[in-house]
Amino acid sequence: MSDDDRFLFRGLWVWNGRDDGRIRTDVLVSAGRIEVVGPSAAGVARDARVIEEPDATLIPGLVDGHAHLSFPESSSPTAVEDTPPEETVFVTMHNARRMIDAGFTSVIGAGSPKLRSEIVVRNEIDAGRVPGPRLLASTPTLTATGGLNDTGQLHQQRDVSAIIVDGPIAMRRAVRLCYREGVNVVKLNISGDDFFPRPRGRVTTMADDEVAAACEAAGELGLIVAAHARSAESVKRGVRHGVTIIHHADFCDEEALDVLEAAKDRVFVTPTTSFYHGLLHLSHWPEELLEQMMVREAFEANVATHKELHRRGVRMLLGSDYGISFMPCGTNAADVGHLVRYLGFTPQEALRAATYHGGLAAGAGGHNPPGGGRPTFLWSRAIRPAIPTSSRTPTICWSS
């Protein structure tokens, strides 16, 4: 769509991301922006090209709250750190294009293996030189020695994909360094992960004072804090000290559920249930490996946790570690259907998580709501089966 084009979408269904129902109305698009929504649009359309799409639905742009645009498409646990920084920038740029083509107009980074790869691509997108969604650039994961993504070995030097921090002083310095370089999001690895030999997902690896220092430093600088937190204790530490986005939360105990519920007006959770779906149905990994990683047990815990959090009214976002070989960037909208299939969301609730809640989360660090300056208009087929209309209905996304 050229910035000089004017379009009048006549009799279009419009859904605002919050309400359960849609309205039928006219929408005038001028110079790449939504100019008028409502019956008055036709009166000021002048020379606009008229488009009749009575079965189409206009919705807010999708938001991924747990994105890894800098991940090369690989299943190797060390591929992200083995990829040179120059190639990582191109990987990030190409994945940004995939995301905008799939209807995602905003992306919240969740750990970039090279500190400046998301930053420079974000700057190029903002300058209009490369296509992509509004990107909130993330730090590399900040992890303690022996924590998730610390793949170093004593007998050899290795440039790992994380920043290794031990103690609150080192944590504050890491946050400030990343702020200086231009990030929007601080990503903490508070727990381990069952997809690595150690530390496992129920192990909490980041100390309480380290989490507190990260959140304090980030808060002073206006940065969003997101946390990899599978264990119950990691969830509690994150929420207690001010983490905004909790990723995973698979193994919550009753206390962790209560803590999240008490903070439900401030925090967001990305269930990442789609990652388990991908492991079981898309990866084609041998059953022996899946058993070794305890995928089915973790999947059951994940579903039980997030069904309960949904019942308690905790806000959830899209995002499930897309960017790997069997779940490439651009397929992220599958989360919408999985929220319905596995967690019992209605289609409207799933789309609200994908749009309205994502916009709120992206603005949590004092940033403008996603897409505030440059709406984009995309025919998006990725989410058609889950939208609250006919499965044959085309969908248009805008950046709200």
Q: What is the CATH number of the domain that holds 13?
A: 2.30.40.10
pLDDT < 70 regions, the chain: 1-4, 75, 77, 364-400
Answer yes or no: do 31 and 143 share one domain.
no
Q: Same domain for 85 and 188?
A: yes
Report the candidate in 43, 45, 8, 13 with the shortest Cα–Cα distance to residue 27: 8
Do 153 and 50 share a structural domain? no
Cβ atoms of residues 57 and 15 within 8 Å: yes
Same domain, 168 and 105: yes
Task: Please indicate, yes or no, whether residues 383 and 246 belong to a single structural domain of this protein.
Answer: no
Domain assignment present for residue 254? The answer is yes
On whether both 52 and 66 belong to a single domain, the answer is no
Question: Residues 314, 299: one domain?
Answer: yes
In terms of domains, do 239 and 328 share one?
Answer: yes
Query: What is the distance between the alpha carbons of residues 268 and 255, in angstroms, rounded to a whole number?
Result: 17
> Does 387 lie in the same domain as 291?
no
Residues 134-177 have pLDDT tens digits of 999 999 999 999 999 998 888 887 788 899 999 999 999 999 99
Predicted local distance difference test score (pLDDT) of residue 370: 40
Residue 176 within any structural domain of the chain: yes
Whether residues 346 and 390 share a domain: the answer is: no
CB 80 within 8 A of CB 72: yes
**Which residue range forms the structural domain that includes residue 281?**
62-362
Number of domains into which the chain is organized: 2
Q: Domain for residue 1, yes or no?
A: no
Domain presence at residue 157: yes
The residue among 98, 2, 19, 24 whose CA lies nearest residue 393 is 24
Q: What is the CATH number of the domain that holds 308?
A: 3.20.20.140
184, part of any domain: yes
Q: Is residue 256 located within the same domain as residue 323?
A: yes
In a domain, 348, yes or no: yes
pLDDT value for 337: 96
pLDDT score recorded for residue 4: 57
Task: Please give the pLDDT value at position 365.
Answer: 52
Same domain as 176, residue 30: no
Q: Write the CA distances from 394 to 35, 56, 57, integer angstroms.
A: 22, 5, 7
What's the pLDDT score for residue 135?
A: 97
Q: Give me the pLDDT at residue 285, please.
A: 95
Whether 368 is covered by a domain: the verdict is no
pLDDT attached to residue 382: 35
Assess if residue 370 is contained within a domain: no
Predicted TM-score of the model (pTM): 0.89
